[in-house]
Every structure is written in structure tokens, then in C-alpha cells.
Amino acid sequence: MSEHSPPPTARLARRRRVSIIWIIPAITLLIALWLAWDTLSKRGPLVTITFQSAEGLTAGQSQVRFKDIPLGTVQSITLAPDYTHVIVAARMNREAARLLTDKAQFWVVKPRLFAGNLSGFETILSGSYIQILPSSKPGRPLLHFTGLENPPVLQSDIPGHTFLLKADRVGSLNPGSPIFYRGLDVGTVLGWDLGQMAENVTVHAFVRAPFDSYVHEDSRFWNASGASVTLGATGIRLNVESMRAVLLGGIAFDTPSEALKTPLATENAVFPLYASEDAAKSAAFRRHVSLVAYFQGSVAGLAPGAPVTMLGIRIGEVISVDLRYNPEKDALEVPVHFDVQPERIAMSAEAAKRGPLKNAQILINRGMRAQLATANLLTGQQEIALVFVPNAPPATVRTEDGAIVVPTSPGSLSGITQSAAALLDKINRMPFQQIGENLNGTLAGLNTMANGPALRDSLTSLQATLASAQHAIQKLDQGISPTLADLPVIAQDLRTLLARTSMLVASADSGYGENSKFYRDLDRLLLQTNDVLQSVRALSDLLTQEPNALISGRAGAAAQ
């Protein structure tokens, strides 16, 4: 540096310092921005759910939950324009967006009794909330939903299959009714379709895994609701699947051994729902023979489903009992149609080759007839019994609308009833009025005779006669009494005479011998004396017993 250069000069620059008081608003702003970003980033779509009522829901408080995790909050509750339902708007979380598909279900959780279970008691303190049940199956996104009035029966993804059961009527089945397989609870009734109820009812039955592997194409389902009572030779039997089936109804199914060879039933496979286990077992027989019979008299107690028996064993059931007018006979008749399953008769395959018509003719020629029999004395239920009647008149087999006509014969109870009716008819024809009039006349005549003067005079005369006879007997008794008093003395004298005579005979025997004439005369004298003594003794006894015998004679002499 040269000597003539000016010396450097220093400059001082002023810095403006930020006040520390601005740090707090800045931090607050940053927190607000972060909260806003966090809220907007977690904010999900706004969904609308329609319910019949908003009972228990509150805007700004009620939540939408899944497995007790909040996924949204109810923002508003409004009334629909047509006043038929309410519209609930709920803001969902971003995590819930993937659950909002057309297969998701919503319902209000509150205290209720449904499907035999008590649920929702925790909402007494916390308040009601909306439960969402997403589907594990993929679906299209949706933001408008129709809520369920009752919770679905299955609220989790339980493995299994749903089958469709066709029934004539639902009966006592309810959503949540159990499904049984050999006494085990293996499924649940989900509900039923309402679309085709004019023809039948389609019941949705869910069977859990692994029990769904026992459902084959030839499996049979039947209604196991309530309890069944059977009165048999062993007494009264009460059959109950479970108490839940008694209260809620139930369904049972079974797969016979021959049906295990068929393929497994697929999802939504259709099965008939039979009314009872007997009906389900009867459906296993493939061959059916339609028969019809015309019974004389009343068929009270015979109804569809009644058994058809042969030799006491069930081989079919009654299909219908009708009343119709026959214009040819100009009379009313009762055709009873019934089915017979020939497969119920063991080792009948060879006879089946002849055909049902020829087999029926053979049996009828052997005397087979249809009779009404009492199946239950308590309820009066009747059944059809195919019996073989000895010396039955010949009959020709004919068909009527595809059904074989079976000749009938009156049963034992029917014969008793007819005999009783005939007896009552004879009794009704008896002239009870005329008999009563004649009896009244006879009684009136007897009354006149009993109260008339002739009978009174006769009684008076009889009374006088009896008095006279009594007086005569008294006199006779007084006259014969002294004679009776002397009889013992006479008897004693006779005994003394007999003793002396005996002494005389002994003396004569010693003096004259046994073969003398004197001995023989004396012997005869003794015999005669003995007879006299016996006669006197008999007379004494007679007079002692009958004092009036000397006048009237010995009693019974006139009869002799």
C-alpha cells in the first residue's frame, strides 16, 4: 500500500430484530394449519342412510362404528319429503371409504330382543349408535344406503354356505332359528324372500363350515319347530330338537348313506322344506303308486297325511279327502286319494316288474280291501288299512284319472256302528206311546180294583175266617193237653211189661226149647209187641210236635 492512499473507513449497519412475542402466534398458526390438514386428510365421504325412525340418534353425537371403532359421526337428521322415513347424514373417516360399497349394511344398535338374544344393553349409558357391517366380497362404491330395522343374523364373515329352502308356509320359523344336523346346532335361518310368496316361501338357511360339507344334492330338510308327541306301544314319546327350536322354530336336515354318493350342494342350492321328518323320509322313495278308494259313511278323522298301512306297517299316506257330486249316480261321494311307496316293502323288486296295475289285481283277487281304522283313540284320528278279507266278493281293477280304484269294506268299528244304528232304528220303531197308554189303562184298572168295595169285603171276610181258625186251634190245644201229659206214664208201663215178658220168654226157653210151638208163638208175640211200642212212640212224638193232629190229621197227609 502506498503512503498517499487514504486510510479505510468502517461503516456500521443497523439490524432490525424480530420480537419474541410473534413466536407464539406463529406456532399457533402452524398448529392450526396442521390440524386443518390432518382433519381434511382424514375426512371421508358424507353418506346418507335412511331409517324408519331416528330413535336414539342425536346429530353431532351419535357415531358410526365397526367392531367398536368409530368410523364416522352423525351430522344431521332430517325428515324425508314424503314423511315416510328419516334421512341421517354421517361424515365418515377416510379409512371407512373402502368399506362403503353396495354390499355394506347399516342398522341402529339399541337394546332389543332379536333372534332369541338380548343385545344392545351397553347403549343404555353410552347412547345408541349406527353399526356398519361391510362385506368381504368386492362391490361398487355407494354413498346412499337403506338402513336395516333389525340387525342381520350373521354379523361376521363365518365360512359356510347358504341354501334356499322352498316351503308352502313359514310356520313358526324366524330369523335366527337354529338348523340342526343329528342334534347339533350347525346353522341359522337368515330370513326369507317375499317375491314369490304367492306360490311358495323361499327360506335362506346358512350352514356353517365344516357342516356344510354334509349337505349333498339329495339331502333332505324338514321343519323341526316345536315338539312332537307320539303315542305308541311303548307309551308316550316327546320329541324335541332343543328349547330354542320350541321357542324360535328350527330346521333339521339329514343325508342318507346312499345320498353321500351325490355331489356336494353348491351355494344357493334349492331344496324342498318338508313339513316333518316322516314326510322327508317318505320323499326318499322314488316310486309312488296313486290309489283312490270310496268309503261308505263318514270319514271323520281322516285327513291328508294320515298313514296307509298294510299288516300294521306304514306303506304310504293319504293325499286328499274330497266331497263331490256324482251326476251318474245322482249322489254325493267321498273319494280318498292316497299314495303307496312300494319300496317300503322289502324284496319287492321282482314283483315291481309286473307293473302296479297287475300287482293290484293280484292282491284284490286275494281279498285285499281298504278299510278305515282308528289310528289314535284319544284324538279320533283315522288311517287307511289295506287288509285281506276272507271270502271277499270278486272285484275288477279299474283306473280313474290315473289312480287305481281299490274296493273297500267296512271296518270292525264301522260294523259295530252300523249294528248299533240298526238296533237304534228298531228301538225307534217300537210303539212306545201305545205301550204307555195300555200300561196306564192297566194301572188304572188295578187302582180301581185295589180301592174298590169288593176287595175290602174280601179282606174283611178273610180276617174273620182267620180269627175263627185261631179260636178252634186254641180249643184243640186245651183238650189234648191232658192226654199228652199221660203219655210218659203209658210208655213206662209198656217198658215194664216188655221187661216181664222178656223174663217169661227166658223161662219158657229154658223149659220148652227153641223149636217148640210155644217158642214160635211167643216170638211172634214179641215182634207184634215191639211194633205196637214203636207205633205208640211215633204217636207220642207226633202229638208232641203237632197237638192238633188228632183233628186235622198228620201234616202232609193230604199232599201225599
- Percentage, residues of the chain above pLDDT 70: 69
pLDDT in tens, 52-75: 998 889 898 999 999 888 999 999
Residue type at position 7: P
Mean pLDDT of 397-415: 80
Concatenating the DSSP letter of every residue in 453-489 gives: HHHHHHHHHHHHHHHHHHHHHHHHHHHHHHHHHHHHH
**pLDDT recorded at residue 90:** 93
**pLDDT recorded at residue 312:** 85
Is residue 364's pLDDT more than 60? yes
| Top-confidence residue, 289 or 121 | 289
> Left if phi > 0, otherwise alpha if psi is -120 to 50, otherwise beta: which for 115?
left
End-to-end CA distance of the chain, in Å?
Answer: 209
Reported as a pLDDT band with limits 50, 70 and 90, residue 513 is low
Q: Which of 5-19, 228-242, 394-408, 439-453 has the highest mean pLDDT?
A: 394-408
**pLDDT recorded at residue 559:** 38
Q: Is-contact 383 306, C-beta < 8 A? A: yes
**If you average pLDDT over every residue of the chain, what do you get?**
78
pLDDT in tens, 41-55: 667 889 999 999 988
CA distances from 240 to 16, 143, 248 (A): 94, 47, 13
Q: For residue 154, which of 98, 212, 204 has the smallest C-alpha distance? A: 204
Q: Is-contact 154 206, C-beta < 8 A? A: yes
Q: How far apart are CA 93 and CA 99, in angstroms?
A: 10
CA distances from 479 to 169, 538, 544, 546 (A): 111, 20, 14, 13
Reported as a pLDDT band with limits 50, 70 and 90, residue 22 is confident
- Chain centroid, CA 362 distance in Å: 37
Is residue 300's pLDDT more than 70? yes
**pLDDT recorded at residue 130:** 92
Mean pLDDT of 185-193: 86
Reported as a pLDDT band with limits 50, 70 and 90, residue 234 is very low
Q: Is-contact 399 405, C-beta < 8 A? A: yes
**Domain segments of the chain: what residues?**
34-146, 160-282, 295-410, 461-549
Three cell numbers at 65? 362404528
Reported as a pLDDT band with limits 50, 70 and 90, residue 412 is low
**pLDDT recorded at residue 298:** 82
| Top-confidence residue, 57 or 282 | 57
Reported as a pLDDT band with limits 50, 70 and 90, residue 76 is very high
- In 319-431, where does DSSP find H-type helix? 349-352, 356-365, 412-429
Identify the weakest region by mean pLDDT among 30-39, 169-178, 312-321, 357-366.
30-39
Is residue 179's pLDDT more than 80? yes
Is residue 34's pLDDT more than 90? no
pLDDT in tens, 450-506: 666 766 667 677 777 777 767 766 766 666 666 566 667 666 766 776 676 666 656
* List of E strands, 194-349: 201-208, 220-223, 227-232, 235-240, 251-254, 270-274, 289-294, 307-310, 313-321, 324-326, 331-333, 335-340
> Any idea what DSSP says for residue 101?
B
Mean pLDDT of 91-120: 80
Identify the weakest region by mean pLDDT among 37-51, 70-84, 537-551.
537-551
**pLDDT recorded at residue 470:** 72
Strand order in the sheet with 129-133: 105-109, 129-133, 63-66, 69-79, 86-93, 43-51, 144-146
Would the pTM of this model clear 0.85, i.e. be above it? no
| H helix count then E strand count, the chain | 11, 28
Is residue 515's pLDDT more than 80? no
Identify the weakest region by mean pLDDT among 73-77, 93-97, 289-293.
93-97
CA distances from 438 to 363, 428, 447, 558 (A): 59, 18, 14, 43
Q: Cis omega (within 30 of 0) on the bond before 272? A: no
Three cell numbers at 107? 342398522
Is residue 86's pLDDT more than 90? yes
